[in-house]
Amino acid sequence: MKLRSLLPAGLCVVPLLNAAAAAPAGLTTLAERTAWQQTGRYEEVIALCDAFQRAYPAAVRCIDFGHTPEGRPMKALVASRSGALTAKEAQRRGLPVLLVQGGIHAGEIDGKDAGFLALRQVLEGAAAPGALDRQVLLFVPVFNIDGHERFGAWNRPNQRGPKEMGWRTTAQNFNLNRDYAKADSPEMQAMLRLVNEWDPLAVIDLHVTDGAKFEHDVSIQVEPVHAGDPALRNAGRQLRDAVIGDLARQGSLPLPFYMSFVTEDDPASGFEDSVSPPRFSTGYFLLRNRFAMLVEAHSWKDYPTRVRITRNTVVSVLAQVAAHGQAWRALQQAADERAAHLAGQPVALDYQASEKQRIVEFRGYEYTRTPSEVSGALMTRYDESRPQLWRVPLRDDLQPALSVPAPAAGYVVPAAHAAGVAQRLAVHGISFRTLPQAMARVPLETFRADKANFAAASVESHQRVALHGRWQPEQRDLAAGALFVPIAQRKARLVMALLEPQAPDSLAAWGLFNNAFEPKEYMEPYVAEEVAREQMAADPALAEAFRQRVAEDAEFARSPQARLEFFYRRHPSWDEQFRLYPVMRTATDPASAAR
């Protein structure tokens, strides 16, 4: 079925082109002045930050919240008509804070130019009138600043405009939108300090898609909707649906899922929704009982169109927070209280789409799939002059894939690992205590990995590992300086996401404890042969168990190493700490037990 495009290509840019003419001096971007064909360098962000503060001294404050590895200041604009331009004042007045974040991927820079335009229009009363009376806007024009300054015309080959743009990753080659949980980069550590200080009600993360060609121009995803505190999900859905409704009324074709095919380059495979793990913004903030919105403008729309849609999204969210922010803030505070009482309750740490699917109508283009003479693979070619309604499957029934009961009291980190873990926890604003004295035979739960499957390639400078094992009761000695991380805190879900060894973005999964799963001492094979014979001679039952294992387990029988390890594990020289995850669970506060 063929469809006509919703709007002529140029119609959507008219309000933006007219906006610059009436703008106060010094508050326009290069993007506006070039009819949305170019975007400015970071020096423009610095100048605009100061210019907005000068133009609106009672309503805007320009702040630095960190520095990049190349020494550039990380700028944010604080905007409110309420008089609350500091975090303490916003908290004292009970005002909701909205964090709008642009340029986490600095080639996807629409959020910077759209955010400055939206901010100016809201301050002028031309958009979302009165919205800044009832909230504080925290606007970070560019998160990945060093990447922004790696400027070039072909940094985003899968995107239409602007003429030049920044690079996806930082100067240290970190992808910041994989760094929320592990927080390796100086930029992310600075951002999390800003988040800890301001405690935003919602974080709006502004992106541009990669992927196929179709008519839909933006996706809006919000969490909690499918995950997180159940009582927050209706409010998250309310925010998402209201913004989608606003965008649709303004001529956009928004959808509530990321428009990436299940099978790459095959439109007929349809779509699968997901809950992002906490390396991503939408997977991270739900663990803090806060809203996160992922905005993905479609890369094959031109830059004026994408900026318009992104600007409209920011304005819509400002209006929604003004209308509902106080109620949503109360819901989040109640969720904080519930999180502090999760002990013993099952907590979902990972999600996946079930096999349920439904057919949806999707506005695509006519296409062909034919073998490529270049790659030899089937290649999809779209005809953008011929819109077509696709009927494709969507799997959006999201269910927990991993649930773990929260510990009764919390986690214990032995002294040998305390410093590194403490630094990570502090970045996230997680509460913990240092145990001042040694304790003997403390009843704990320990996790021993039966298998540790190391990734074949590095990811974000880490060798990831998947651990297979279980928690079991054990008594362990603790040296002075161990950490106790209580589960009774509002970030309990985040605590579990970082410290449960099988969680997808735990510190363990990112390889921070790989030493624990690497054998260091060993028994020479000729020694192990002698030990095996001695053990079998001394224990006929053990000898029979070995013969039975060889007979029944073909993989074991084929592996000389596994056969010798069968006996080595039963020898006093075996390292009892091998594959012992160096974080334990506890049913009581160890410090209280010691008293």
Distance CA 347, CA 345 (A): 6
**CA dist., res. 359 & res. 370, Å (int):** 25
pTM, two decimal places: 0.93
At 482 the pLDDT is 98
Give residue 194's pLDDT.
Answer: 98
The C-alpha angle with vertex 560 and arms to 555 and 561, in degrees rounded to 5, equals 95
Place of tokens 């669970």: 585
Domains (ranges, CATH) in the chain?
11-339 (3.40.630.10), 365-400 (no CATH), 406-519+577-594 (no CATH), 525-568 (no CATH)
In order, the DSSP letters of 558-594 are H-HHHHHHHHHTTSTTS-TTTTB-S-EEESS-HHHHH
- pLDDT tens, N- to C-terminus, the chain (595 residues): 333 333 333 334 445 545 565 667 789 999 999 999 999 999 999 999 999 999 999 999 999 999 999 999 999 999 999 999 999 999 999 999 999 999 999 999 999 999 999 999 999 999 999 999 999 999 999 999 999 999 999 999 999 999 999 999 999 999 999 999 999 999 999 999 999 999 999 999 999 998 899 999 999 999 999 999 999 999 999 999 999 999 999 999 999 999 999 999 999 999 999 999 999 999 999 999 999 999 999 999 999 999 999 999 999 999 999 999 999 999 999 999 999 999 999 999 999 999 999 999 999 999 999 999 999 999 999 999 999 999 999 999 999 999 999 999 999 999 999 999 999 999 999 999 999 999 999 999 999 999 999 999 999 999 999 999 999 999 999 999 999 999 999 999 999 999 999 999 999 999 999 999 998 888 899 998 999 999 999 999 999 999 999 999 999 999 999 999 899 889 998 788 999 999 999 999 997 765 5
Which pLDDT score is estimated for 4?
35
- At residue 7, the pLDDT reads 35
Residue 435 CA: distances (Å) to CA of 15, 494, 582: 61, 22, 16
pLDDT value of position 592: 76
For residue 21, what pLDDT is reported? 56
587: exposed, middle or buried (C-beta count within 10 Å: 0-12, 13-18, 19+)? middle
Contacts of 388 (CB under 8 A, 6+ apart): 1, 2, 3, 364, 365, 366, 367
Q: What is the pLDDT of residue 562?
A: 92
Output the pLDDT for position 13: 41
